[in-house]
Amino acid sequence: MKVLVASRNAKKLEEMRRILAEHMTTVEVVGLDDVTPFDEPVEDQPTFEGNALLKARAGVVATGLPTLADDSGLCVDALNGMPGVLSARWSGPALGSKDGQDDRNNELLLAQLNDVPDERRTAHFACAVALVLPDGRELVVEGRMDGRVIREVRGSGGFGYDVLFVADDRPGLTTAELSREDKDAISHRGRALREIAPLVADLLA
């Protein structure tokens, strides 16, 4: 049995495969680069759930495989919940490498929060993971990680805004400074995937 994870982000795919493997040892998880290319939908929905379902539905239609997709982002209280669903393209359309886009997004976020005092730099990561099966069944779960945005980039692990985010559950370290195991244990995506993985295994069985 194969399950498609509708993503090309290598670091995200590695993270999702690692967590799903705890519950789905007999299922092969493939990414978008492992299947015949198809027209991927524009992520134009106003919610994480909407975008996750959009991508998962497109994957099922194009490949016939059960498809998992996630949408996630950083929601900053001082910015009224933004970047939110715009997190990946906060600094504008993607130009060049994914790492370059991450750097631009982080620079813009730091600039926007420059005058915000530390006590008001609270934020959370949110994630919605959707499963769509070829028979039309759909399932969505959500995960959340609370914390705050610091004032300088720290760490070399993770991706996206991890270098700026300190989780309440691991004070003192950015999520880019945590081990993979520590991050998986507390992250928004880790929580959502651990909830949905056994449900996926049951549905596929």
103 annotated ligand-binding residue: no
pLDDT tens per residue, range 182-198: 998 999 998 998 898 88
Three-state DSSP at 147 gives: strand
55 annotated ligand-binding residue: no
189 annotated ligand-binding residue: yes
Q: How far apart are CA 108 and CA 113, in angstroms?
A: 9
CATH of the domain at 164: 3.90.950.10
Q: Please, what is the Cα angle at 84 between 83 and 85, to 5 degrees?
A: 110
pLDDT tens per residue, range 22-36: 777 777 889 999 999
Q: Which of 33, 44, 70, 71 is catalytic?
A: 71
Number of Cα atoms under 13 Å in the Cβ half of residue 181: 0
Q: How confident is the model at residue 200 (pLDDT cuts 50, 70, 90)?
A: confident
Q: How confident is the model at residue 98 (pLDDT cuts 50, 70, 90)?
A: low
What domain range is 176 assigned to?
A: 2-204
| Amino acid 171: pLDDT | 94
42: DSSP letter:
P
Residue 97 pLDDT more than 80? no
**How far apart, in Å, are the Cα atoms of 78 and each of 2, 54, 118, 123, 124?**
42, 29, 11, 8, 11
For residue 138 the two structure tokens come to: 């759909």
34 annotated ligand-binding residue: no
For residue 144 the two structure tokens come to: 């959340």
| Amino acid 170: pLDDT | 95
Number of separate domains in the chain: 1
- Do 183 and 145 touch, CB atoms closer than 8 A? no
Q: How far apart are CA 197 and CA 154, in angstroms?
A: 31
Q: How far apart are CA 41 and CA 53, in angstroms?
A: 11
What is the sign, positive or negative, of the torsion defined by CA atoms of 70, 71, 76, 81?
negative
3: DSSP letter:
E
Tell me if residue 135 is catalytic.
no
- Please report which helix (H) or strand (E) contains residue 139, including its range: strand 138-149
Q: Which of 9-23, 27-41, 139-153, 160-174 has the lowest mean pLDDT?
A: 9-23
- Edge-to-edge, what's the strand order for the sheet holding 67-76? 28-31, 2-5, 67-76, 122-132, 138-149, 165-167
